[in-house]
């Protein structure tokens, strides 16, 4: 059983490969949350995986809320792991995830991170990667994922292969705390109506259904479901969507955009 969340596709790519190689069920967290509180019963020997992108050097709020609202019935034979994607480093994401899991009677057996192309562009010092760097990251991530998948299939415990960065506590508990308290909102998104072609791609890719087309124009619901994943921004073919003013001259990226 693999629970995953993905906005611009990096984590979806990794989770789908894991599911194919391990034969585990793949469950999309936003879809599971629509069911309300759920209980998940693992079978003998089944693995339990959590895959998601790092948001502000922390687990995404939607992932933490899902874990808090769910019950997991596990056996001693079950293997629990997490695999996260990031543009650079994860800070103390895994420690925070493990703390959340322990509240539900679970604990991580192993933890992995993949460095993938950068997609978050709403802070002054964050940009998308150049094409050459994109290719380098994906190639290296593919090699790492093959290696991690072998460990997961073999249920190897106490394997920790993560990029925490030089000052993980500061990034997670200072910068990350601010980010997850004040930046996770849809209220700063705007649409340049002169550029918008009313294609609806932004609404189609929103993982939580927070974005709808109203009279042909993208409209955010302001219902607290936005994860600030920027899928709407990155998939817009005319760069008509922006988050405040900072993204107007930033690049766009989603996994597979060159196909």
Long-range CB pairs of 104-108 (<8 Å, 24+ gap) are 104/67, 104/68, 104/70, 104/71, 104/72, 105/72, 105/74, 106/48, 106/72, 106/74, 106/80, 107/80, 108/80, 108/81, 108/82
Q: Is residue 225 assigned to a domain? A: yes
Domain coverage including residue 62? 2-181
Per-residue pLDDT of 183-239, as tens digits, reads 899 999 999 999 999 999 999 999 999 999 999 999 999 999 999 999 999 999 999
Residue 259 has pLDDT above 80, yes or no: no
Residues 23 and 79 in one domain: yes
Q: Is residue 255 assigned to a domain? A: no
Per-residue pLDDT of 75-87, as tens digits, reads 888 999 999 999 9
H and E: helices and strands count for the chain: 9, 12
Residues 193 and 153 in one domain: no
Residues 131 and 147 in one domain: yes
Q: Is residue 10 assigned to a domain? A: yes
Q: Is residue 231 assigned to a domain? A: yes
Per-residue pLDDT of 100-156, as tens digits, reads 999 999 999 999 999 999 999 998 888 999 999 999 999 999 999 999 999 999 999
């Amino acid at each position: 059983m693999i629970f995953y969340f993905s906005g611009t596709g990096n984590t979806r790519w990794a989770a789908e490969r894991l599911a194919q190689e391990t034969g585990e069920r793949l469950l999309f967290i936003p879809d599971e949350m629509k069911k309300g509180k759920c209980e998940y019963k693992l079978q003998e020997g089944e693995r339990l995986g959590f895959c998601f992108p790092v948001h502000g050097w922390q687990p995404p709020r939607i992932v933490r809320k899902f874990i808090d609202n769910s019950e997991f019935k596990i056996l001693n034979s079950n293997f629990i792991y997490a695999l996260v994607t990031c543009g650079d480093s994860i800070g103390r994401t895994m420690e925070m995830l493990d703390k959340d899991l322990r509240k539900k009677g679970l604990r991580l057996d192993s933890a992995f991170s993949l460095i993938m192309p950068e997609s978050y562009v709403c802070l002054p010092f964050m940009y998308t990667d150049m094409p050459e760097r994109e290719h380098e990251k994906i190639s290296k991530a593919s090699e790492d994922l093959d290696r991690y998948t072998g460990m997961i299939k073999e249920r190897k415990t106490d394997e920790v292969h993560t990029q925490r960065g030089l000052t993980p506590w500061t990034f997670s508990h200072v910068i990350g705390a601010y980010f997850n308290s004040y930046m996770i909102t849809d209220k700063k998104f705007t649409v340049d109506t002169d550029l918008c072609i009313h294609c609806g791609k932004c609404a189609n890719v929103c993982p939580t259904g927070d974005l709808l087309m109203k009279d042909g124009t993208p409209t955010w619901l302001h219902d607290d479901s936005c994860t600030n994943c920027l899928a709407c921004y990155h998939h817009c073919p005319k760069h008509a969507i922006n988050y405040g003013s900072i993204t107007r001259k930033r690049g766009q990226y989603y996994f597979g955009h060159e196909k």
